[in-house]
Structures are given as structure tokens and as C-alpha cells.
Amino acid sequence: MGVNEARILVVEDDDNIRRFVRLTLQVEGYVVSEADTLRRGLIEAGTRRPDILVLDLGLPDGDGVALIRDLRGWSDMPVLVLSARGTEAEKIVALDAGADDYLVKPFGAGELLARVRAQLRRHLGQARAGGPLIRFGDVTIDAIKRTVTRGGDTLHLTPIEYRLLCHLAAHPEKVLTHKQLLLAVWGPGHAGDTHYVRVHMANLRKKIEKDAARPQHLLTETGVGYRFVGTPAG
């Protein structure tokens, strides 16, 4: 796997977890650097310029969310958050601050690698994106004609559904919170109406997905938001 020369920074205070993450990533060929405090992490991120940051939220010298906010001032590197507490509120705060994805402890090596790969793919993909067509499964979005087709048939999406789909498809593999989607589709002033997103997402799934109860592309992150997956992870 020669392509995996990406540099990864792991900021985690627990030695054992840090060792596990490092070993897992090194086996895949990534170049891993480590930090065990918030301050150290920020310095490493600034000097080494990693391609992806794996960040634990509960650090001894502060909250990981503060680091994300600092980082977003000067970098758009993907941030994968490791959360021990597993409460939705904490994840939402991290995601709204600029994190791209999260993993709840305990997690396995497979899950970690899948997320890291997805983030790297997205990051690299974004660099060369720009084409008018987005394809996933048998669905094609044509941003110029503003049409969505599935298996050759044109789907009749409402303007809101179209806009929702486009916004999700533009951020593959990234967890978008309800708040972020509301802001993108409905504009400011609707922050409390999270059921808007849910209702339209349910309708969109009925049109896009083969089985709306078991979606393949428009995945639910319970209590947090949604994630768009172009090609189902396999």
C-alpha cells in the first residue's frame, strides 16, 4: 500500500489507546506522530502539518473542542474525534466546531481504519472535485441541469429535497449535524426546528434509497445528524 504515505497526528492522553491507534495505523503504512496534551497537540499540528488529526476530546489540559476551533482558524485538515462519553451533545459541539467525524470508544481497528480512509479519500477527492456530475449507486445528480436521475429515470425532488441532497453529497463521509443542515438549506433563524430536516430527509430517502428503513447512502447518526456515503463501505 504505497499510497498510504499520509501523515497522521494522534492526540490522546491514554497511553494504551494511543499505542493501539499508532500500531493500527502504522501497520497500514501511515506516518504517525503523537501528542498527549492539548498544548503539545497544537504545536505538533502546526509544525508537522499532518493530513489528518485523530483527537481525543477529554485531554488533561483542556477540552479537545478548543483545539478544533484553533485549528479551523488556519487549516481544513480532516479531524476524527474519539469520544469516551458517548453523549450526543458532546459530539454535536465537536462537529459544530469543525470536526468531520467521530468514533465512540471502544472501537475496533477495522472501524478506525475505515473512518481514516474515508476522511482521507474525501480530503483528496475534494481537491480535484468540481465536475458537474455526482454519482453514487445508480443515482446521478446533475448540478447544471439541476436534475437527479436514478437508473435513468428522473426523480421528482422538491426544491428543499434537492438542496438537502446536494449539500449532503457535497460533503461525503462527513457527519453533518441537524443545525448545520438547517443553516445550509433553510438559512439562519430555524435553529430549533430540527424536525424540518428529519421530515424532508425521510421523504428524500423514500425517493433515493432502495429500502428507506435500511438506507445505504443517507445514513442517520442518531441524535446528531446525517452522513452521506457515496459508495457503501465494504
**Footprint of other proteins (CB under 8 A):** 14, 16-17, 19-21, 23-24, 27, 58, 84-86, 88-89, 105-110, 112, 141, 143, 146, 158-160, 162-163, 165-167, 169-170, 185-187, 190, 193-202, 212-215, 219-223
User: Which CB, 82 or 97, lies closer to other proteins?
Assistant: 82
Beta strands in 19-91 (DSSP E): 31-35, 52-56, 58-59, 62-63, 79-83
User: Which CB, 28 or 70, lies closer to other proteins?
Assistant: 28
User: Which CB, 152 or 187, lies closer to other proteins?
Assistant: 187
Q: Give, as one character, the DSSP assignment of residue 172.
A: B
Q: Supply φ then ψ for residue 126, to 5 degrees.
A: -60, -35
Give the side-chain half-sphere CA count within 13 A for 53.
30
| Distance in Å, CB of 133 to other proteins, minimum | 12
User: Which CB, 93 or 212, lies closer to other proteins?
Assistant: 212
| Distance in Å, CB of 185 to other proteins, minimum | 6
Residues in CB range of 2: below 8 A, 6 or more apart: 29
Q: Give, as one character, the DSSP assignment of residue 4.
A: -
Please tell me the distance from the alpha carbon of residue 210 to that of residue 192, in angstroms, as a whole number: 31
User: Which CB, 47 or 211, lies closer to other proteins?
Assistant: 211
Please tell me the distance from the alpha carbon of residue 155 to that of residue 206, in angstroms, as a whole number: 11
| Distance in Å, CB of 47 to other proteins, minimum | 27
User: Which CB, 105 or 156, lies closer to other proteins?
Assistant: 105
The dihedral built from the CA positions of residue 175, 167, 113 and 219, taken in this order, carries a sign that is positive
* The Cα angle at residue 65 between residues 165 and 163, in degrees rounded to 5: 10
| Distance in Å, CB of 46 to other proteins, minimum | 27
| Distance in Å, CB of 110 to other proteins, minimum | 7
Please tell me the distance from the alpha carbon of residue 96 to that of residue 139, in angstroms, as a whole number: 29
| Distance in Å, CB of 2 to other proteins, minimum | 19
